[in-house]
Amino acid sequence: MNALAAKPDAPSASLPAPSPDVRLIRIDDAHAGQRLDNFLIGLLKGVPKSRVYRIVRSGEVRINSARASPERRLVLGDLVRIPPVRVAAPDSVAPVPGQEFPILFEDDALLVIDKPAGIAVHGGSGVSFGVIEQLRAARPQARLLELVHRIDRETSGVLIVAKKRAALVTMHEAMRQGQVGKRYLALVAGDWSGPPQALRFPLHRYLTAEGERRVAVQDGGQVAGTRVRARSRLVHPQFGRLTLMQADLETGRTHQIRVHLSHVDHPLLGDEKYGNYDLNKSLQKSGHKRMFLHAFETAFRHPTNGTEVRLQARVPAAFETLMKACHEPV
């Protein structure tokens, strides 16, 4: 990315950062295809989103000397004019600690990692940073690192990251078409002794009085489908009957697996939003302090060469530890 602008004076440690000069940025292949608003939000760190949208709608941001809407898709070679915008002083923002994660696959288009439980995939909602910010900090030379999809903070397993804009766009379209397979492992309460079946219950998102995001099965909600089957039926000496479930996504709604399994009275172990409160307390007291949902496998066509990619993230040690203490039901 080429910025054609004079460098502002270095900010004083005791003063706010000065407004930068007008910048002219030529769009390269790392950002071609990205929406203008998302491009600006990523570029203008520390600037409120409301301010970003205001400078676009006022015409202060221009593409090839013309006004543009926030939804405008950038094209290779576009020249974007960005007006002087005051950003947060560098010293006011805590640095993100760079971190690499176990790699399942990597080439020049994609990076697929095994995300640990307990780490958000991105910053926001009270979280300063997540996996994607840590990857960017660990790889400052990378021209692009963008999440292809998301998984819950307490969920471990397969997470796909795009390293090229074209790969990101292609993978997003494949996901919309249902061409990216996602398979999860879930340890749930109760004995699932029935046959494989598809759980198709509409899901409605809402906020609690405390502002917490929740999802519930509700008529008129978004269509959602989860195919489930039992892989292992177990009995734990303390926690009773448990089942290791396999869950294949037909759709990718927020908290889908968690809400669907809870709705059929087989809540996830360790799920503090939709699980069994008393059981979760007992699990925590016994040292089992995670939610037992793991993104186990993904399968898709490579966005560049079309070859089939199938990847698995090993079963976490926490799953194995809990299951080793179980026996099969009589």
Give residue-wise pLDDT tens across range 192-217: 988 999 999 999 999 888 778 899 99
Q: Dihedral sign, CA of 228, 232, 235, 239?
A: negative
The helix/strand count (H/E) of the chain reads as 7, 17
End-to-end alpha-carbon separation of the chain, Å?
Answer: 65
Catalytic residue numbers read 152
Domain spanning 103-324, CATH architecture: 2-Layer Sandwich (3.30)
Query: Domain residue spans in the chain?
Result: 2-6+16-92, 103-324
Contact yes or no for 300/309 (Cβ under 8 A): yes
Contact yes or no for 122/135 (Cβ under 8 A): no
Contact yes or no for 110/307 (Cβ under 8 A): no
The pLDDT value given to residue 128 = 81
- Strands (E) in 119-171, as ranges, are 146-147, 156-162
Give me the helix-helix angle, 36-43 and 49-57, nearest 10°: 130
- Average pLDDT (286-301) is 97
Q: Is 123's pLDDT higher than 90?
A: no
200: nearest Cα among 276, 142, 253, 272: 253
Contact yes or no for 117/131 (Cβ under 8 A): no
Domain spanning 2-6+16-92, CATH architecture: Roll (3.10)
**pLDDT averaged over every residue in the chain:** 89
Residue 289: other Cβ atoms inside 10 A: 13
Distance CA 100, CA 116 (A): 11
| Top-confidence residue, 283 or 122 | 283
55: nearest Cα among 27, 19, 90: 19
H-state helical runs in 118-270: 131-138, 165-176, 256-263
- Within 13 Å and on the Cβ side, how many CA atoms surround 218? 10
Give residue-wise pLDDT tens across range 243-278: 999 999 999 999 999 999 999 999 999 999 999 999
The pLDDT value given to residue 93 = 59
Q: With pLDDT > 70 as the criterion, what percentage of the chain qualifies?
A: 91
Distance CA 161, CA 140 (A): 15
Reading the block at residue 179, the tokens are 């061409």
